[in-house]
A = this chain, B = another copy of it.
Amino acid sequence: MDELPNAAAEIVASVAPTASARVRLRPVDGRGVVIRDGLLAERQRVNREVTLLRGAEELERAGTLDNLRIAAGQASGDRRGMVFSDSDVYKWLEAAAWELEREPSPELEARARETVDLVAAAQEPDGYLNSWCQVVDPAWRWTNLEMGHELYCAGHLIQAGVAFERATGDASLLAVARRFADLIDDVFRTGPEKGTDGHPEIEVALVELFRQTGEHRYLDLAGTLTARRGHGLFAEGRFDLAYYQDVEPVREAHSIVGHAVRALYLAAGVTDIYAETGDRALLESMLHQWEDMTSAKLYLTGGVGSRHYGEAIGDPYELPPDRAYCETCASIASIMWNWRMLLVTGGSRFADLLERTLYNGFLSGLSLDGESFFYSNPLQSRNGERRHHWNPVACCPPNIMRLLASLHHYLATVSEAGVQVHQYASSTIRTVVPAAGPVELAVETGYPWSGTVTVDVVSSVDAEWTLSLRIPAWARAATVDGEPVASGDYAALTRRWRAGDRVVLEIDVSPRLTAPNPRIDAVRGCVALERGPIVYCVEQHDLRPGTDLAGVAVDPGADPVENGPVDELGGLPGVALAGVARDLEGWRDSEYRDVRGLPPTASARATQLKAVPYFAWANRQEGGMRVWLPAVV
């Protein structure tokens, strides 16, 4: 386990630690995993059939591809869009790469190869590649690290190049990325005066480039750039130092602060650097930051980012549902970080949070039809929100695409001891257990709607190994083959497995009510509805005519009950809540009242509230929505 790899990573995976990496769990080769059926399979299908193709069209329409054509001398005109829009192309290419591996598509392949050629054509002879600099102002190069996003874009280029080679074997995009990475290494390696990017992203990419190429200097550069943060590099910046994670060195930082996407991409990269270097201070910092986040800065949906101002993580317990920022990219970055923390530590809490984020704060970013997006994902909207088809800031859509195209990478891992299943979906998982040999599992489940998960051993060598099944911490109860197992850990089944063996896991996914920590002022007196890993919400659309969402309250003592499929939402299961509809007319036009003169609470009539999965909100008419519902007092 001490040798460094000299060649390309041998598995198809978003994250492929080297043989010597300090990881307890290793990703399963993506070629061995297929999500066959169910919610996640459906999301992958829609991504493939609708979203990826729409993405290509929108990149064309928005001029994002034209920017590269102008840089390449293939077109003329003014550059359009944000300074960082090249990264939208790179994320789309990464998505296309994973998708081409998942299931060949001549149309997608043709578009992707054409785009790779375009990216290659746009590259300067010295390796530089950034259409803003090339088209708008060549003198700008490396002059605005705070907001210029040059290394951020390079990071996404590198990730796309790695994905392309891993998924398709085609190394041409990686060659472009390496040329740029080599230039960056030349410029930034020496002299701390060169600083680092205001927006982390290149760190996680450089570690993966090291993993893919075996070139240690990329890992070193990731470490160097990371170590430059936290010394007030951006003291003259537009925002405070926290925004850039520049208050204190990463290895000393115990709080997760600032711009949420920046903080979480950085965390993913730092966790990777730990994995490849074994620098314990980095892992300690990551564990503290994770605890800081999950104890006081995380939304119930897994979303992160409490402030629109600075797109920032707020103070502890500052978690307003209406002004929640919860950028879709922050959910994706959190999933990236949690996956890496899971690999490094093997702790089920990281897979739990990955699940929470995936099914709620992430999936909410895409409409059910795959046609439109949310950039921010609040937990309350008084008057509804309209999803957008493409934004001037188009970071989220292609980020959604690359995660959906690679979702199957996140289901399972292997270790010396066996196979761990973290996320449940009807799927096939083929891998090799080092201490045993090739194994194939078939998982059948209606999860997350059903808590029954059947795992069939399709094939196994005749050797003992351990099958570990995650029992989510939220589960009130769970059994394996009828025997109770503890929540918040893995049920570890060590057996001499053979073809035909079956394990039946039962997780209680019945609807339950959740209360917030009293320190979270913004949702005082409220409860939320969850069902398995799914956070629910109530939309104005589902209330009886004349009932105002602002006036409803639920009985926290009454158990919520299943309410059958919601046809308008493709049959997603509804849940019914016992509650009341209060008439707030007495408060009309008055904000504040002497407690001696409060209007009568008279007309609170009993009603049944219909709740739907939060991720499916804003898919019908525009209208109010609440995750946190006032409790009847």
Hey, which chain B residues are within 8 Å of A308, CB to CB?
Answer: 307-309
In the complex, which of the residues B323, B550, B592 contacts A323, with contact meaning CB atoms closer than 8 Å?
B323
CB of A551 closer than 8 Å to a CB of B: yes
Does B309 contact A550, Cβ atoms closer than 8 Å? Answer: no
Minimum CB distance partner of A551 in chain B: B518
Does A521 contact B591, Cβ atoms closer than 8 Å? Answer: no
CA distance A123 to B286 in the complex (A): 58
CB of A582 closer than 8 Å to a CB of B: yes
Minimum CB distance partner of A535 in chain B: B592
In the complex, which of the residues B322, B515, B521, B630 contacts A592, with contact meaning CB atoms closer than 8 Å?
B515
Hey, which chain B residues are within 8 Å of A380, CB to CB?
Answer: 521
A side interface size, CB within 8 A: 59
CB of A520 closer than 8 Å to a CB of B: yes
CA distance A296 to B587 in the complex (A): 11
CB of A236 closer than 8 Å to a CB of B: no
Hey, which chain B residues are within 8 Å of A278, CB to CB?
Answer: none
Does A582 contact B518, Cβ atoms closer than 8 Å? Answer: yes
Does A591 contact B516, Cβ atoms closer than 8 Å? Answer: yes
Q: Known: A584-B518, A591-B295. Contact between A512 and B596, CB under 8 A?
A: yes
CA distance A474 to B594 in the complex (A): 8
Does B322 contact A318, Cβ atoms closer than 8 Å? Answer: yes
CA distance A633 to B526 in the complex (A): 13
CB of A30 closer than 8 Å to a CB of B: no
Bitwise, A316-355 to B at CB < 8 A (1) or not (0) is 1111111100000000000000000000000000000000
Q: Known: A307-B323, A315-B383, A589-B291. Contact between A598 and B521, CB under 8 A?
A: no
CA distance A515 to B584 in the complex (A): 14
CB of A227 closer than 8 Å to a CB of B: no
CB of A143 closer than 8 Å to a CB of B: no
Hey, which chain B residues are within 8 Å of A459, CB to CB?
Answer: none
Hey, which chain B residues are within 8 Å of A139, CB to CB?
Answer: none
CA distance A319 to B592 in the complex (A): 12
Bitwise, A479-521 to B at CB < 8 A (1) or not (0) is 0000000000000000000000000000000001111111111
Q: Known: A321-B521, A382-B317, A633-B633. Contact between A596 and B550, CB under 8 A?
A: no
CA distance A527 to B320 in the complex (A): 19
Does B550 contact A514, Cβ atoms closer than 8 Å? Answer: no
Hey, which chain B residues are within 8 Å of A587, CB to CB?
Answer: 517-519
Does B591 contact A296, Cβ atoms closer than 8 Å? Answer: yes
Hey, which chain B residues are within 8 Å of A584, CB to CB?
Answer: 517-519
Q: Known: A315-B382, A323-B323, A587-B519. Contact between A513 and B595, CB under 8 A?
A: yes
Hey, which chain B residues are within 8 Å of A382, CB to CB?
Answer: 315-318
In the complex, which of the residues B514, B524, B591 contacts A594, with contact meaning CB atoms closer than 8 Å?
B514
CB of A579 closer than 8 Å to a CB of B: no
Hey, which chain B residues are within 8 Å of A321, CB to CB?
Answer: 521
Does A592 contact B476, Cβ atoms closer than 8 Å? Answer: no
CA distance A294 to B590 in the complex (A): 8
Distance in Å: Cβ of A100 to nearest Cβ of chain B: 39
Does A592 contact B300, Cβ atoms closer than 8 Å? Answer: yes
CA distance A523 to B593 in the complex (A): 13
CB of A522 closer than 8 Å to a CB of B: yes
CB of A27 closer than 8 Å to a CB of B: no
CB of A525 closer than 8 Å to a CB of B: yes
Does A594 contact B518, Cβ atoms closer than 8 Å? Answer: no
Hey, which chain B residues are within 8 Å of A209, CB to CB?
Answer: none
CB of A556 closer than 8 Å to a CB of B: yes
Question: Could you list 10 examples of A-B contacts with CB < 8 Å?
Answer: A309-B309, A317-B382, A380-B521, A514-B595, A515-B592, A519-B587, A522-B522, A524-B526, A527-B595, A556-B595
Q: Which 5 A-B pairs have the closest CB atoms?
A: A525-B525, A308-B309, A309-B309, A513-B595, A295-B589
